[in-house]
Structure 1
Amino acid sequence: MAAAGRFIAGDWGSSFMRLYLCETGAPARILETASGLGIKFCDNPEAAFFDVAGAWIDRDGPLPVVLAGMVGSNIGWVDCPYAPCPAGLDDLAARMTRFEVRGVPVAIVPGLSCTNIFGLPDVMRGEEAQVFGWLAQAGAGGRRTLCLPGTHAKWCSVTDARVTRFFTSMTGEMFEILVAHSLVGRDMTPGTAIEAGDPAFVRGVEIAVSDPRLAVEHAIFSARSLRVTGSLSPQAARPYLSGLLIGCEIRDALAALAAAGEPVDHVTLIGAPALSLLYAAVLDRLGVVHAMADVHAASLAGLAALAGHTQPVSA
């Protein structure tokens, strides 16, 4: 018999597995944490899960499990169809894929899909737990714009606690590729933490936001041309490129939302603190009010809310 009031929540992405042994409450409390391989490294997800969580289950019994992220993708444990937008927490819960393995009830969050403001299909997996966790914590009604910075940043439109649509910006991945594999990244000083007050980051932001004609594909090459002409040091090149990319992303996202009839006067950032501070600096420069939320707290709140819907279901 499972220990009363306990459950396992997890964010299992392509690169990492993060599991939390939790106790129900308002808010849910983390008792222990554990980590393992990302789903893209797992030939046998069931074995990988029990390698990490097995000690908890052996001790506390067949605890209910709720997982979000790429674990529910076509390279994951099971392929979970996306929940279409507009969607609220109840819609997400109703579409979770549930099964029982080794006597343990597992529920996998489906992710969200939509047609974005550009008329293109868009998807997310994992971020939806953060979005609904923040909404559960904030009790937010009305219209909200959420930004989730990351490798594939998400810009979410929310109305009365329902995600209406969203779009993805690949800024984080572009930065990593450019630094590691492009001519622009050649001779850059190896990475240290980029800070919002770094003059080179501020310079990149200023160039990006001061001229709306400057498309990101044109702006990027300046990280090379300024180096060649002696106007940018190897130490400054990396934060400068970061400022360019994040500046262009936010500038273009706000313009696109306004053109789609969703003008933005406030943005909630849900992400890692260091990265959120960079986004906040750009929003400050553009005069957009913003707030920051802790991504781990938001994710746990979302998973805990969904865990309340988890019921043992036989395979």
Structure 2
Amino acid sequence: MADDAPRRDAALVALDWGTTTFRAWLLDGTGSVLDSVRTADGALTVSERTDSARARAAAFEATFAWLCRPWLDEHPGIPVLCAGMAGSNHGWAEAGYLDVPAELSGLADRLTVVPAGDSVVHIVPGLRDAGPDPDVMRGEEVQLVGALATAADRPETVVLPGTHSKWVRLDGDRVTGFTTAMTGELYGLLMRDSILARLATGEVGPKASAAFARGLEAEAAHGDERGLSALLFTARPLVLAGRLGSAEVADYVSGLLIGAEVRHALRGDPAAVVALCGPPSTEDRYRLALERGGVSVRIVEEDAAVHGLWRIALDAGLASLTPTATPASVLTAEEQPS
């Protein structure tokens, strides 16, 4: 780096601590990523061997310190903002919920403070629908903030695929309601612990395959008549009959599950345009399912969570935006240094 290049000081440690995955970013004063960490140390793994709230909190603190120690040592006192299942009732510390309808800007006013050695961690609350059909989300709210921060317009429906997929209804920056589908978790259980797991010889790929499309078509044609559980079993006789390859089972099952989720969600809450915010591993499959349902899909970049955490940190006063320097090449003659 040139001596006169602007220094990129670290301004925030941002954590997205999900059920199965831990993600962390070291951000500079513009919200740009300086470094990142991703591991399988999700909240479920961290908490599974603890038998009390105190032991659980200690386990989360130790995992955080271990995974982020180089950043914390190099930047003592750096603020830390955390979202996800670390703020659940079986996480680091319960961070509560905002009840919908709710403005996403209100998340910054309800942070839960947790001491962690020489650091202080601020945990973002989740969102809760306390109506006749209650629902909760924790972690996806920061993805929503990030999606809206980078969007050219304001979508009315955002789909967030994951272990527990979320279908979120928006009015500007206001969350008016949402629905959860356990699609990702069901897929994991079926492909690990069911009879279907014995048939499958491969995992789903990042792109929608012909076997996935076959699952979509089967669910669309027979889902109402036969039901999802009956259709899932069809993978077995299809393999036995030589009409479905063992390497195609995972994609076929994924097609049935995602097809059922998307078709029923659109039936309950029709949408012409949907913003899709998820990892590359599921993006193409959800896009295909949505487009087959007659929906126009707008893809939101994968790192919506880190953008959302940065936005919340700014709103909460945990970080301040560093002005970007104007390159010397665009300065006027009067502005050029002598």
TM-score, normalised to structure 2's length? 0.82
For the residue of structure 2 that corresponds to 1:294, the secondary structure is: coil
Cα offset, 1:285, TM superposition: 1.8
- 1:39 partnered with 2:46: no
Answer yes or no: is 1:269 the counterpart of 2:276.
yes
* 2:32 corresponds to: 29
Q: Provide the residue aligned with 2:297 in structure 1.
A: 290
Give the residue type in structure 2 aligned to 1:6. A
SS at match of 1:179: helix
The answer to whether residue 115 in structure 2 is matched with residue 85 in structure 1 is no
**How many positions carry a matched residue from both structures?**
298
- 1:172 has 2:175 as partner: no
What is the percent sequence identity of the aligned residues?
A: 36
CA shift for structure 1 position 240: 1.2
Q: Aligned runs of 1:32-111 on 2, under 5 Å? A: 32-35=35-38, 37-42=41-46, 43=56, 44=58, 45-111=60-126
After TM superposition, give the deviation of residue 145 of structure 1 in Å: 0.7
Aligned-residue Cα RMSD (Å) equals 2.1
Deviation at 1:19, TM superposition (A): 1.4
Provide the residue aligned with 1:12 in structure 2. Answer: 17
Residues of 2 paired with 1:101 and 1:149: CA distance? 31
Q: 1:206 aligns with which of 213, 217, 224?
A: 217
Letter matched to residue 283 of structure 1: L
The separation in 1 between residues aligned to 2:238 and 2:130, in whole angstroms, is 39
Q: Secondary structure at the match of 2:198?
A: coil
Aligned to 1:213, the other structure's residue is in SS state helix
What letter corresponds to residue 18 of structure 1 in structure 2?
Answer: R
Contact 2:100–2:175 (Cα < 8 Å) also in 1: yes
Structure 2 CA distance for partners of 1:194 and 1:8, relative to 1, 3 Å: closer
Aligned residues of 1:140 and 1:161 also touching (Cα < 8 A): no
Look up the equivalent residue of 1:294 and give its one-letter code.
E
Residue 307 in 1 paired to residue 313 in 2? yes
Q: Is this contact kept in 1: 2:164–2:185, CA < 8 A? A: yes
For 1:169 and 1:120, the matched residues in 2 are separated by 13
Partner of 1:237: 249
Report the TM-score, using the length of structure 1 for normalisation: 0.87
Q: Does 1:157 align with 2:169?
A: yes
Cα deviation, residue 58, structure 1: 2.1
**Cα separation, 2, equivalents of 1:102 and 1:236:** 49
Question: Contact between 1:96 and 1:109, CA under 8 Å: does it hold in 2?
Answer: yes
Contact 1:140 1:160 in 2 (8 A): no
Question: Hey, what's the Cα distance between the residues in 2 that align with 1:211 and 1:245?
Answer: 13
The 5-angstrom pairing of residues 180-191 of structure 1 reads 180-191=192-203
More displaced stretch, 223-232 vs 167-176 = 223-232
Structure 1 segments of 4+ aligned residues over 4 angstroms from their partners: none
For 1:70 and 1:145, locate their aligned partners in 2 and report how far apart those are by CA, in whole Å.
23
